[in-house]
Structure 1
Amino acid sequence: MSPERRAKNKARAQLTLLHLDLAESLTEVQWQIAHAIAQTLVKEDTDVNELGKAIAYLRTYINQENAGARFFDYLKTLVRNGRQIGHSKRTTDYYENIENTCSQYLKAYQDNAAVMLQILGWASRLMRYYKDAGPIGEITAPVVESARQAEIAEVISTHDFAIGQILEATVTAVKGNKVTYEILGTIKLTEKEPKKAQSFTEGQTIKVEILDLKEDGSIKKVRCTG
């Protein structure tokens, strides 16, 4: 076996071990985002040490108000002043790659700097392995537009919903014959319950049955089973 082949096999083995650690510390969606950030930056030949500096900045201000927003402002400042503070044109390119990639994948977590820090920490580690693991093909990862969508995407990815399934739901609003249910603390659905709506109170916990699913596997329609 050639030294190059041996290095690639070793990298893949280490990556497998990382997967086990990731599974324990990140959710499925966050795990995919960490991989996508690492793959994107390696594919663009970004220096992992420059990502490390950005991570160090976020870690320093992690407990301050608006830490996530400050992190993105910091990245924009690096891009804007890259030629003054960088050692070469390549450094400016690194800053732009990092800013673009973080904006693409981490905006949904801007209000949760601790999660951002964890994802970036793993992305940094993954970058070192992807550099030795051979060519990177097409990158696929969830593109989450808001924190709420991130939560919903996570629920969908970790639950296998089925028509006829019974779930616990909380009544969050009652207006006329319409009832708004919150399922698994994230999914909100408003359904017509003409025979039962007036007997519900906000905050009440009931059982609902899944009547229909969307193409992505998320819940489309439910009804009270009681």
Structure 2
Amino acid sequence: MMTISESTSETLTDRQWEIAHAIALTLVKEDTDVNELGKAVAYLRAYSNREDATSRFFKYLKTLVSNGRQIGHSKKTTDYYISIDKACSDYLKNISDAYTILQILGWVSRLMRYYKDAGVPIGEIATPTAPPVESARQAEIAKVAKSQDFKVDQILDATVTKINGNKVTYEILGTIKLTEKEPKKASSLQEGQTVQVTIVALKDDGSIKNVKCAN
């Protein structure tokens, strides 16, 4: 049986793990059948190589809710579909990548079984709130970060977009904006100037956390 401490770092970011945890808690509290979630996951997996996979998945969930009484064995089945649709809509609506959703829901299934088999007192655990809506810019930054393999000490071209005292704002790859303290460099830089920056630190999801001017 899976233990709650089983590593997820290879498959999910911290934020995605929180989402998986929240969906699992929500569905277990509502006594949702994990097998019904499995059917939804199977549908998404079947269409995962299509560009419209994610939108198809959410439409499919709505269809299950609408036709629950016809395709289910009891009223409980419809309730399961309602719970799954709401949980996925609340927590996954800002994720456009079908593969990422598959990874999250795979962990949701494992966690649901863990909570049920382990007899964890679910009622005593507070369900995390839905993550804040991700802006279009944040989504674009995440997309850029995912397409790159950033490394600490890597040197990148950047444009200086703003200088405020010793604080310099850099724009990297036309999308990523970072403001850093540059006490030794700020006075010699100009807005609009192209410089080279060195990656100092990365976030858990592999995106850039901090840089410094390398010029």
Settle same-fold status: TM greater than 0.5. yes
The answer to whether the aligner puts 1:94 opposite 2:80 as a matched pair is: yes
The whole-number CA distance in structure 2 between the counterparts of 1:145 and 1:45 is 27
The whole-number CA distance in structure 2 between the counterparts of 1:126 and 1:65 is 29
Q: Measured at CA, do residues 197 and 28 of structure 1 come closer, stay the same or move farther in structure 2, by a change above 3 Å?
A: same
Q: Which amino acid aligns with 2:13?
A: T
The whole-number CA distance in structure 1 between the counterparts of 2:173 and 2:9 is 21
- Give the C-alpha shift of residue 173 in structure 1: 6.6
- Give the C-alpha shift of residue 185 in structure 1: 9.6
Residues 116-163 of structure 1, C-alpha deviations (whole Å, 9 max, x = no match): 0011011111111111332111112561412754777xx9xxxxxxxx
Match of 1:42 among 13, 20, 28: 28
- Give the C-alpha shift of residue 224 in structure 1: 5.5
The whole-number CA distance in structure 2 between the counterparts of 1:187 and 1:207 is 14
Match of 1:16 among 4, 28, 35: 4
Match of 1:58 among 41, 44, 49: 44
The answer to whether the aligner puts 1:205 opposite 2:196 as a matched pair is: yes
Larger mean CA deviation between 139-148 and 98-107 belongs to 139-148
Residues 82-138 of structure 1, C-alpha deviations (whole Å, 9 max, x = no match): 1222111111110010000001111121x2110000110111111111113321111
Unmatched tracts of structure 1, length 5 or more = 1-10, 156-165, 210-218
On the 8 A contact 1:29/1:142 being kept in 2, the answer is no
- Give the C-alpha shift of residue 186 in structure 1: 7.2
More helix by share: 1
Q: Normalising to structure 1: TM-score of the pair? A: 0.67
- Equivalenced residue count is 189
On the 8 A contact 1:173/1:180 being kept in 2, the answer is yes
- Note the 1:1-226 alignment, pairs <5 A: 14-16=2-4, 19-20=6-7, 22-109=8-95, 111-133=96-118, 134-136=120-122, 137-140=125-128, 143-146=131-134, 149=138, 170-172=157-159, 174=161, 180-182=169-171, 187-189=176-178, 196-198=189-191, 200-201=193-194, 204-206=195-197
SS in 2 for 1:131: helix
Unmatched tracts of structure 2, length 5 or more = 146-152, 181-185, 201-208
RMSD: 3.9
SS in 2 for 1:181: strand
